[in-house]
Amino acid sequence: MYYQSTGLRAGDRIVLADDSNDDWWKGVIEDRIGFFPAAFAHQLRVEDQVFRCNRTFIGCKEQGQITLKEGQICVSSEGEHSGFIRVASGKKRGFVPCDVLEII
């Protein structure tokens, strides 16, 4: 079964069953088992918090910010600093305002 048939959606929590292949991982979502592109997922650590961007934010690279689109998922293990939090989304890392994020 591939990711289309597992109903994989942004923000889903997947129990990783096999990550031995660099491109495709095997995972479990509720009662479904299937393969999905590794690039679609981020392995979480215990201290990580998962967020969804509730409105598009255009970041300023010079200030270490990143751009996030509405609905985009990001992860952080850091706390808030002056209204901003450092997050990772895919290969991008940088600061975004806390008020554009909601915990999921």
* Domain positions in the chain: 1-41, 49-103
E strands, 1-104, in order: 15-18, 24-29, 32-37, 49-53, 73-76, 84-89, 92-97, 101-103
pTM for this prediction: 0.75
pLDDT band at 1 (very low <50, low <70, confident <90, very high): very low
Q: What are the distances in angstroms from CA 12 to CA 6, 16, 27, 51, 71?
A: 11, 12, 11, 12, 13
Query: Which position has the higher pLDDT, 38 or 66?
Result: 66
Question: Do the domains spanning 1-41 and 49-103 agree at the CATH topology level?
Answer: yes
Q: CATH fold of 1-41, please? A: SH3 type barrels. (2.30.30)
Query: What does the mean pLDDT of the chain come to?
Result: 88
Q: What is the mean pLDDT of residues 19-45?
A: 86
Within a 10 A sphere around the Cβ of 75, how many other Cβ atoms?
16
* pLDDT score recorded for residue 6: 55
CATH 2.30.30.40 corresponds to the domain 49-103? yes
Q: What is the mean pLDDT of residues 26-31?
A: 86
Phi-psi bin for 4: left (phi > 0), alpha (psi -120 to 50), beta? alpha
Residue 104 has pLDDT above 80, yes or no: yes
36, 14 in Cβ contact below 8 A? yes
* pLDDT score recorded for residue 2: 47
Q: What is the rounded distance in angstroms from the CA atom of residue 70 to the CA atom of residue 72?
A: 6
